[in-house]
Amino acid sequence: MRTSSTTGFWLPIFAGLCASLVGIGLARFAYTPLIPELIQARWFSANDVVYLGAANLVGYLVGALLGRPLARHVGNTSALRFMMLAVTAAFFACAFPLSVSWFFGWRLLSGIAGGAIMVLVAATVLPHVPASRKGLASGAIFLGIGLGIAGSGTLVPPLLSLGLQDTWLGLGALALMLTALSWFGWPDDPVHAAASHAVVEPESTPPAVYVLFAQYAFMAAGLVPAMVFLVDYVARGLGAGAHVGALVWVMYGLGAIVGPVSYGFLADRFGARASIRAVLVVQAIALGLLAVAHSFLGLALLAVIIGSFPPGIVPLALARVHELVPEHHRQQVAWSRATVSFATFQALAGFAYSALFNATGGHHALLFLIAGGAIVVAILLEFATHIGRRTHPLAHVCCD
């Protein structure tokens, strides 16, 4: 197989990068800098625009649940190709604001594709990568999320000068190009894949895995406000205008590019568990400061730090799963469940923040403070684990 050679495994890595770029980097994050324009162009009301943003998060949950069952029927490679085509179609469809329900449906579909891609992409690519390169490969795959965020901040503003409809068409053309470029880069599905899914694993799940699921869920709740409202906060909330909002979003994208690689380095150097703890502390502080920051320099610096979190925490959480679960198939199952946990809280948080935003008349700072509180809860879960271990001294045997 071509993917087993020393150079051939870079093709699946490139395909995985394109998938995360299209399915999450662009499908989710390109919407953020479009929010002020969608409102100002009166495509939809401010309330509708916010809820339409949450539609993608709901779809992400559905995709996380459907990803593995879909792959069992059509294969990982075919499922990933189909999901990239679905995102491409959604971009083109969103160029025509026929109704709120039409737009919601296509944003929902793009989220479903993103969730399925997140569940399947690493499991599809990493088995074809040498063990010594898996850390690098994981960071490269999820770098696509950061590139999508940065690309949305640099591509959307010039596209908007052509018009809102042309912006959606341009994003669709980019997604189509990336889908075509990655089409033949995916590895072949192994013949024994279907049989491996039928194997029942008798080993119990370590308690620390459930702690990770809970932490990952609160991380999701903590990243939503900046992910959805940052540009609108700068542009309308602070009155700095769409141009400054786009610049801050570019800084967010810069952080998103740095995140996967730097977080992966932390995991290799200090271990995933200690790295997660340190990252959560930094993020909680940054979100608290974002609620009171007003200067461009401060906003830009915080945007870099906060932007590193959404894509960076993915390889970090995946590394923690690999620390806790020894066998490949069980790792896939655990990662799928972690993604569902993340997606569930992300979707719930998306609608809860949207409702609170509308109920408070657009109080952005309150959302950032609540997000910081969610990160603090994720930190406290780690301390609760320590207390449990002190109460039950043998707990560390299965939790480390």
> pLDDT tens for residues 339-348?
888 888 887 8
Single out the residue of 142, 74, 138 nearest to residue 114, CA to CA: 142
Q: Looking at the predicted structure, is the pLDDT value of residue 198 above 50? A: no
Least confident of 129-143, 232-246, 382-396: 382-396
Weakest-pLDDT range from 101-105, 266-270, 382-386: 382-386
Strand, helix or coil for residue 302: helix
What is residue 400's three-state secondary structure?
A: coil
Report the alpha-carbon distance of residue 379 to residue 214 in Å, rounded.
10
* pLDDT score at 341: 87
Cα–Cα distance between 100 and 38 in angstroms, integer? 12
How buried is residue 378: exposed, middle or buried, by Cβ count under 10 Å (0-12/13-18/19+)?
buried
Q: Are 25 and 146 in contact (CB under 8 A)?
A: yes
Q: What is the DSSP string of 149-165?
A: HHHHHHHHHHHHTT-HH
Average pLDDT of the chain to the nearest whole number = 82
pLDDT of residue 204: 66
In the predicted model, is pLDDT for residue 133 greater than 50?
Answer: yes
Full-model pTM = 0.76
3-state helix, strand, coil in the chain (%, to 5): 85, 0, 15
Q: What is the pLDDT of residues 161-177, one digit of tens each?
A: 888 899 999 999 999 99
The burial of 190, by beta-carbon neighbours within 10 Å (0-12 exposed, 13-18 middle, 19 or more buried), is given as middle
Q: CB-side exposure of 305: number of CA atoms within 13 Å?
A: 19
Assess whether pLDDT exceeds 80 at residue 397: no
Domains and CATH numbers, the chain: 2-184+204-399 (1.20.1250.20)
Q: What is the pLDDT of residue 240?
A: 84
Position 168 scores a pLDDT of: 93
Token pair, residue 162, equals 């052509």
The DSSP 8-state label assigned to residue 326 in this structure reads -
Mean pLDDT for 181-205 is 63
CA distance 393 to 177: 55
**Residue 356: Cβ within 10 Å count:** 14
Overall average pLDDT of the 323-346 stretch: 82
What's the pLDDT at 389?
55
